[in-house]
Amino acid sequence: MFGIVRPCSHRLGEGLKTQWMAHLCGLCLALRGDHGQFARVVTNYDGLLISVLTEAQVERTTAWRRTAGPCPLRGMRTASVAQGEGARLAAAVSLVLASAKVRDHVADKDGLLARRPVALAARRVAASWGRAGARTGSDVGFDTAVLVDAVDRQVGIEALAGPGTPLLTVTEPTETATAAAFAHTAVLAGRPGNAEPLAEAGRLFGRLAHLLDAVEDRETDAASGAWNPLTATGTPLVEARRLADDALHGIRLALREVEFTDGKLAHLLLAHELGRSVDRAFGTSGCGHQDHEDGPRGAFGPPQHGGPYNPQSPQSPNDGQNPYAGGGNPFGGAPSFPPSGPGRRGFWAGCAAAIGLCCTCKVCCADEFEGPWSRRRREGCLGNCDCDCSCCEACEICECCEWCSCCDCGL
């Protein structure tokens, strides 16, 4: 999985998380349905934005959803997934751009691709994906030639770029490709008036994607000697951040001009999560909702600095020490465990349950699963997040923006 828009499930809320997963699974299944199982490896977080934007512009009907069968990546559960032209356009764009990415890695001789047999196989896969993406794009009225042309021009531009070359010259092909893909969602939705602002949003999203990819790969590219646009053009990080912030602001302004039927998810991903992606890439604070005077603010107001439940408070009876930290026994001795009983599985039954959990990927991918021995509810590995979600629990979408001014969204 790759992409710059990787929202935390805590910030999405249950309703928008279900929608987001519907588009992610819809993209994956559209790739499988049109191009076979192996094509599913190009499923990516940014590609589903095409499906999200298409559906956000149309009247919601049952034709835009279908029930998919159990999947290991959903903890062997069924789900309602997106279908239709939006998902197929997302699949076409993902295939063509993944094909370009593979060819780029082959040209750079990255890792195993430096070996000729592996490189030859990769070229064949890339060519197959390119043709498949062109076929699907044609089926939904989208000419993928604009994507292929952008990729070809990118190679030439990178070969000529050097110190002093404007960074936006390097990002232009990516901008052109994403602008065309975003604009075509208006065509699929039957809203031609949205094509222009969506093209602008897509152009700036392409710029942002290119910039953030360059920032995140800067150190590894320097270590491996790979080409990096920031290093090649001599662009400092301060200038890259300025361009990223300008692009983010431009996307928010462009979205104001788009007529959505239900644009909550599209707005959250493109106006809010993109901002967090910028912060993540540049190593700044992760949560965009900041109180201007008191620092980070939670859903119920700023944190209190006193009281018996604050470990740093002088009133704390434990002087900042949690007697239960680490799962230990507060009365000394070895850590205590719950006694075995009828609710717990035996050793062999627990082993069998553990094997089942691993084989169905529930340990990694399910939101919750039952512990194989204790039978307690546990979170899946991917259910955890490394962000501070305290300020987002009460604002499923933008209710808090009126007081925090995190973006000029007007919602």
Write out the DSSP string of 65-120: EEEEEEEGGGTSEEEEEE-SHHHHHHHHHHHHHHHHHHHHHHHHT-GGGGSHHHHH
Q: How far apart are CA 23 and CA 185, in angstroms?
A: 14
Q: How far apart are CA 94 and CA 86, in angstroms?
A: 12
Q: What is the mean pLDDT of residues 34-43?
A: 86
Q: What is the mean pLDDT of residues 204-217?
A: 93
Give, in order, the Cα–Cα distances in Å from 349 to each of 134, 338, 354, 364, 376: 51, 18, 9, 21, 15
Q: How far apart are CA 397 and CA 265, in angstroms?
A: 8
Contacts for 382 with CB less than 8 Å, ≥ 6 apart: 364, 365
| Per-residue pLDDT at 337 exceeds 80 | no
**What 8-state DSSP symbol labels residue 271?**
I
Q: How far apart are CA 407 and CA 379, in angstroms?
A: 32
**What 8-state DSSP symbol labels residue 342?**
T
For the ranges 223-237, 282-296, 306-320, 379-393, which has the lowest average pLDDT?
A: 306-320
| Per-residue pLDDT at 319 exceeds 50 | no
Question: Any idea how long the chain is?
Answer: 411
Q: Which two tokens stand for residue 83?
A: 């279908």
User: How far apart, in Å, do the first and last CA atoms of the chain sit?
Assistant: 31
Residue 212 pLDDT class (50, 70, 90 cuts): very high
More confident residue, 391 or 74: 74
**What 8-state DSSP symbol labels residue 335?**
P
Q: Which residue has the tokens 């150190």?
A: 219
- In this prediction the pTM is 0.72
Q: How far apart are CA 202 and CA 131, in angstroms?
A: 23
Quote the strand ranges of 257-396, DSSP E.
290-291, 295-296, 368-370, 377-379
Q: What is the pLDDT of residue 389?
A: 45
Exposed e or buried b per residue across 365-375, where buried means at least 16 C-beta atoms within 10 angstroms of its C-beta: bbeebeebbee
CA dihedral of 87, 92, 97, 101, whole degrees rounded to 10: 100
- Element at 397 (helix H, strand E): none
Q: Is 339 helix (H, G, I), strand (E, B) or coil?
A: coil
Give, in order, the Cα–Cα distances in Å from 94 to each of 1, 42, 172, 180: 12, 6, 19, 13
| Per-residue pLDDT at 408 exceeds 70 | no
Q: Which residue has the tokens 């998380």?
A: 17
On whether the CB atoms of residues 351 and 372 are closer than 8 A, the answer is yes
Helices marked H in 9-72 — which ranges?
Answer: 9-35, 48-56
Instruction: Pick the most confident of 117-126, 222-231, 268-277, 303-312.
Output: 268-277
Q: What is the pLDDT of residue 227?
A: 86
Q: What is the pLDDT of residue 248?
A: 95
Q: How far apart are CA 159 and CA 107, in angstroms?
A: 12
For the ranges 75-84, 181-190, 199-208, which has the lowest average pLDDT?
A: 75-84
Instruction: Pick the most confident of 53-62, 173-182, 376-385.
Output: 173-182
The mean of the pLDDT values for the chain is 77
Q: How far apart are CA 297 and CA 290, in angstroms?
A: 6
Q: Which two tokens stand for residue 340?
A: 């075995």
Instruction: Pick the most confident of 62-76, 96-110, 197-211.
Output: 197-211
Q: What is the pLDDT of residue 301?
A: 35
